[in-house]
Amino acid sequence: MRTNHREPMATALSIVKILVVAYAGYLGLIFAVQRRMAFPGTLRVPPRASLSAPEGVEQVWLDTSFGRVEAWFLTAPDPAVAPTVVFAHGNGELIDDWLGDMRRLPARGVNALLVEFPGYGHSDGAPTRATIAETFDVAFDWLLRRDGVDRAKIVAYGRSLGGGAAADLARSRPVAALVLQSTFASAAAIAREQLVPGFVVRDRFDNAAMVGAMELPVLLMHGRTDEVISWAHAERIAGAREGLEITEIPCGHNDCASAWPDIVSALTEFLERHHLLER
């Protein structure tokens, strides 16, 4: 009896076709929903029912091509000689979450501009790399026009996904320094860790490449026990540029409230070392 070799071959090809179609569908689904996954803060209900800002905060509405985005400006006792930090938070946060911690900066002689992401809180638009970049460019330009700000002492500071926003700002505007806290080497690297091919990523933040292409001072802070963005990401960013060291902070990723005094000290020491903050 002769064996028909065509049937097993046809079965194998059918299985391959099914797997290819399933994988293509998986990639299509990831492509379609990734921004919902990458920007969960859009689903949060703003803790403030009204558009007004908390007491003691200068509220700023940044006019972009897609609408208004909220920002809060906190001033040091002598704002004209103080450095100004432009802060970009993480993807699940709002500027409201950072007011308590960021009030520590003016007390240390540092102005802080907390910039919301498009589509977050009371802000218009939808978050993408392009809309976030536009927002932070507009925020920087607002600082240039504001009286009582030292234009030579504006520093980009990003935490987690906000590191991508800060790095983009450092490439598009003449900031004095860049601060990266608990951020990733690249969005594609994060995707690959989740078994998603890098080419599917729509918002291709690449902090390692950005740092490697710039010469300005960089403070790179990371927790060795970070369970969301591993220490290896900080090592890859540090490796993109000769002489860049990692400042270890005593926390993981979302448990850094108790470590905030250490983080502020590392920040102010960095600013002093680069003559952006008077001792």
| Residue whose structure tokens are 């007491």 | 55
pLDDT digits (tens, 9 = 90+) for 93-102: 999 999 999 9
Which range is least confidently modeled, 18-32, 94-108, 179-193? 18-32
pLDDT score for 20? 67
Whether 202 and 255 share a structural domain: yes
Q: Is residue 9 included in any domain, yes or no?
A: yes
Average pLDDT of the segment spanning 260-269: 97
Whether 7 and 110 share a structural domain: no
Reference 238, options 214, 211, 271, 217; nearest CA is 211
Q: Is residue 102 included in any domain, yes or no?
A: yes
Q: Is residue 82 included in any domain, yes or no?
A: yes
Q: Is residue 278 included in any domain, yes or no?
A: no
Whether 130 and 4 share a structural domain: no
Q: What is the CATH number of the domain that holds 269?
A: 3.40.50.1820
Look over the chain and give the mean of its residue pLDDT values, rounded to a whole number: 92
Cα 79 from Cα 192, distance rounded (Å):
43
Q: Is residue 44 included in any domain, yes or no?
A: no
Whether 230 and 256 share a structural domain: yes
| Residue whose structure tokens are 């905060």 | 57
Whether 17 and 72 share a structural domain: no
The whole domain housing 24 covers 1-38
Reference 161, options 87, 218, 110; nearest CA is 87
Reference 117, options 79, 76, 161; nearest CA is 161
Q: Is residue 122 included in any domain, yes or no?
A: yes
Q: For residue 111, report the phi and psi dihedrals to the nearest 5 degrees.
A: -75, 155
Whether 131 and 72 share a structural domain: yes
Q: Is residue 279 included in any domain, yes or no?
A: no
Task: Kindly state the helix (H) or strand (E) to which residue 5 belongs, with its residue range.
Answer: none
Which range is least confidently modeled, 15-19, 166-170, 180-184, 250-254? 15-19
Number of separate domains in the chain:
2
Whether 97 and 214 share a structural domain: yes
What's the pTM value of the predicted model, to 2 decimals? 0.90
By the 8 A CB rule, do 127 and 171 touch? Answer: no
Whether 146 and 265 share a structural domain: yes
Cα 105 from Cα 193, distance rounded (Å):
35
Cα 173 from Cα 135, distance rounded (Å):
12
| CB burial of residue 101 (10 Å; 0-12, 13-18, 19+) | middle
Whether 69 and 27 share a structural domain: no
Per-residue confidence at 11, pLDDT binned at 50, 70, 90?
Answer: confident
- Helix, strand, coil shares, percent, the chain, to 5: 45, 15, 40
Whether 105 and 218 share a structural domain: yes
Cα 55 from Cα 48, distance rounded (Å):
12
Average pLDDT of the segment spanning 5-13: 68
| Residue whose structure tokens are 């007390």 | 107
- The DSSP secondary structure of 173-241, one letter per residue, reads S--SEEEEES--S-HHHHHHHTT--GGG-SS---HHHHHHT--S-EEEEE-TT-SSS-HHHHHHHHHTS
Whether 28 and 144 share a structural domain: no
pLDDT score for 36? 84
Distances in Å between the alpha carbon of 218 and those of 21, 131, 167, 263?
45, 24, 10, 14
Whether 138 and 12 share a structural domain: no
Q: Is residue 49 included in any domain, yes or no?
A: no
